[in-house]
Amino acid sequence: MSNLKYWIWLAERHGLTCQTAERVLEHFGSPEGAYFADLAEYRLIQELSPEAISSLEEKSLEIADKILGDCDRLGIRLMTRQDAAYPERLAAIAQPPLVLYMKGRPVAFDEEAAIAIVGTRKATPYGVQAASRLSFDLTRSGALVLTGMAQGIDASAVRGALKAGGPVVSVLGGGIDVVYPRYHAGLYEDVAVAGTLISEYPPGTEPKGDHFPVRNRILSGLSVGVVAVESERSGGTLLTVNHALDQDREVFAVPGPIGAPASVGTNLLIQEGAAKLILSVDDVLCEFADRFPGKLRAAEPLDPETEAQRLEGTAIVPEPVEPKRSKGPRDGGGEPAKIKPKLPVLTAEETAGKLTDDQRAILLALEGGALKADDVVEKTQIPTRRVLSAMTLLQIQGYVTEESGKRFKAAVKLKME
């Protein structure tokens, strides 16, 4: 593709967020149009920061050429928004990635009953067993399992799909050639052979903490449904669920023991009506049987001995959690640090990648005092369903509390910079 380097050039501009990159594309019509524009034209886009404009003025294609060379050397395919194979599901989300890097089997996502399995890195044996079994059963029934590559629930879901003999897709928070955690090198290789590795980051990109909350929108965007297996009260799992609700995806949750820290988030999702409680794979498949009659099927039962052999090695107790970074969200699961109860102010930096536009608007609306949901809808002009979905996640994350009379109150204040 002759203009591929311009897509990479635009995707690699410093200071451009997913949202402002969309505005640049909208304004110029193509990455080439943006590349050949001048300073005066860039200044017409009000949303662009000085840093973004300065980066757009840098016309060197050296980085783009290097990335193309690395992809060719490593066997990594590239897909841009203009490609016919670019998933329509992903193109329809609020901030679709400009470029996708892929290694493994090609996947026609729009034709697949793709189910994302998400959960905490600090999974319990119960959660590990549930994730591996669900992934195993989903794969045997014709669904396509998507997950990350972190320890805990992610790794268990990957192993379950592989043990079932089917493909699995892992969406990464760094370059495809950068294995993280390092002891998952074998899983990376297995997925690249039997399924697909996907990232919006070029080869060589380290999996920084703030990449994972951003990555989560792709995980839910490629799926038709998201299953939360275990989640604490705040974390990357709930961020993915939030994206799924905004993207009108089906959301499911595995119930956990009352009072178990690893199941607080999933139990609250069920209690608040944001997720459907599931007890087996049938509770997920029944929601999609009519949409994918040629894909989904009732898997033939396995005898206990065969089943035990097939599932052997999937329910591995989570590996030791790697040291957390001193700043930013935790790696692997993208789980942000919990909000301290006495912290009344959240800065834009602290909420980057953690709050959607709807959530920000609702928090700002609630700063004036407690409001009923209908009042929030009227004040923000956000549709009722989206307000209720966002409010549920804000409560679970501890940013909003419910008072008597079904009135909602902000528990934190946003500092707008």
Q: What is the mean pLDDT of the chain?
A: 87
Q: Which of 82-96, 154-168, 391-405 has the lowest mean pLDDT?
A: 391-405
Distance, CA of 40 to CA of 43 (rounded, Å): 5
The answer to whether the beta carbons of residues 331 and 174 sit under 8 Å apart is no
Query: Domains of the chain by range and CATH?
Result: 1-73 (1.10.150), 103-298 (3.40.50.450), 345-415 (1.10.10.10)
pLDDT value at 81 more than 90: yes
At residue 344 the predicted structure's pLDDT band, cuts being 50, 70 and 90, is low
Query: Which is higher by pLDDT, 37 or 354?
Result: 37
User: 4-13, 288-297, 391-400: which has the minimum mean pLDDT?
Assistant: 391-400
Average pLDDT score over residue span 143-170: 95
Q: What is the mean pLDDT of residues 139-156?
A: 96
Residue 370 has pLDDT above 90, yes or no: no
Which position has the token pair 């505005």? 23
Residue 333 CA to residue 86 CA, distance in Å, equals 26
Closest CA to 352 of 17, 23, 49: 17
CA atoms within a 13 Å half-sphere pointing along the CA-CB vector of 296: 20
pLDDT of residue 361: 86
Q: What pLDDT, on a 0 to 100 scale, did the predictor assign at position 322?
A: 46
| Confidence at residue 375, expressed as pLDDT on a 0 to 100 scale | 87
- CA pair distance 310, 320, nearest whole angstrom: 25
Residue 399, SS3? coil
Tokens read off for 330: 């935790």
Task: Assess whether pLDDT exceeds 60 at residue 386.
Answer: yes
Q: For residue range 199-231, what is the model confidence (pLDDT) as tens digits?
A: 999 999 999 888 998 999 999 999 999 999 999
Residue with tokens 């395919």: 77
Q: Is 181 left (phi over 0), alpha (psi -120 to 50) or beta?
A: beta
Check residue 96 and give its pLDDT. Answer: 94
What share of the chain has pLDDT > 90, as a percent? Answer: 65
Examine the pLDDT at 343 and tell me if it is beyond 60. Answer: no
**Average pLDDT of 380-401?**
82
Average pLDDT value for residue range 46-71:
95
Q: What are phi and psi of 225, to 5 degrees?
A: -155, 155
Question: What pLDDT score was predicted for residue 201?
Answer: 97
Averaged pLDDT for residues 169-179: 96
Residue that wins the pLDDT comparison between 412 and 73: 73
Residue 310, pLDDT score:
65
pTM: 0.78
Is the pLDDT reported for residue 349 higher than 70? no
